[in-house]
Amino acid sequence: MKYSRAVNDSSRASAIAFRDVHFSRGAQPVLRGFSLEIAAGDTLALVGRSGAGKSTILKLINRLLVPDSGEVIVESRPTQAWDPFELRRRAGYVMQEVGLFPHLTVEQNIATVPRLLGWESARVERRVTELLELVGLDAKDHANRRPDQLSGGQRQRVGVARALAADPPILLMDEPFGALDPVTRAEMHREFRRIQDRVRKTVVLVTHDMAEAFALATHVGVLSDGVLAVVGEPATVARSTDSRVRPLLDPLIEATAVLGTQR
């Protein structure tokens, strides 16, 4: 399924495309004929229940997994035709657990991919300072800390900085703010929008939280039973009457209603 603007606006190339992708984990089908196109520079949020196959979609994009049938196309090449290591270095990855290396400093963590790419150290250093600033951390204060000396929010900022380090065109985010408390999460949402305004990456973000999807994404897709139930701009999805989409929207409407009566 394609979302309307990408279909109509032919001037914008699609950065990532899924064409009739089937994928099973053992005997358990996860994706059954999944299709999707994502335009460069868009932020697509995929929403679905736990176990709907959201993380699988991200792993198919950076070739941690390969489809059983169908194609995943990144920058007009199927993932199987990519050198997997090169592909992964062009797709920053942010996950809920962050996964910072505990034995390395903040600076060394952020420098991981640039060093894999063989950047010279002066360039790496400049880039680390720049990125820490971008994610709102003071470079002098934080560069030499270990991950266990950071708060949860700070760790997630470092995680984002690390994913952006080599300026990859694609950013994959797996429940990136799911482990944060609501106040920090709201702050991170603001930060993400600010950063995305500056860097304009093609972002694929998966979440089980429809509110987060609406807060961050230019487009929202709902995943159900291994296929895309609906995809479009947030306003379109919010009006959907699809029985697979309503259960995800209702809690939001209830919350708004409660707030409304209290006012």
CB of 91 to another protein, least distance (A): 8
Toward another protein, which CB reaches closer, 54 or 88?
A: 88
Binding site for another protein (CB under 8 A): 62, 64, 84-89, 91, 93, 95, 97, 99-103, 112-113, 116, 146, 162, 172
Minimum CB distance to another protein smaller for 137 or for 173: 173
Give the nearest distance from C-beta 51 to another protein in angstroms.
18
Nearer to another protein, 171 or 217 (CB): 171
Please state the closest distance from residue 5 (CB atom) to another protein, in A.
29
Give the nearest distance from C-beta 173 to another protein in angstroms: 12
Distance from chain centroid for Cα 110: 18
Which residue bears the tokens 């080599």? Answer: 166
Contacts of 230 (CB under 8 A, 6+ apart): 221, 222, 236, 237, 240, 242, 244, 245
Q: Report the distance separating Cα 6 and Cα 14, nearest Å.
A: 8
Q: Output 112 or 129, the one with its CB closest to another protein.
A: 112
Least distance in angstroms from the C-beta of 174 to another protein: 9
Please say which residue, 135 or 172, places its beta carbon nearer to another protein: 172
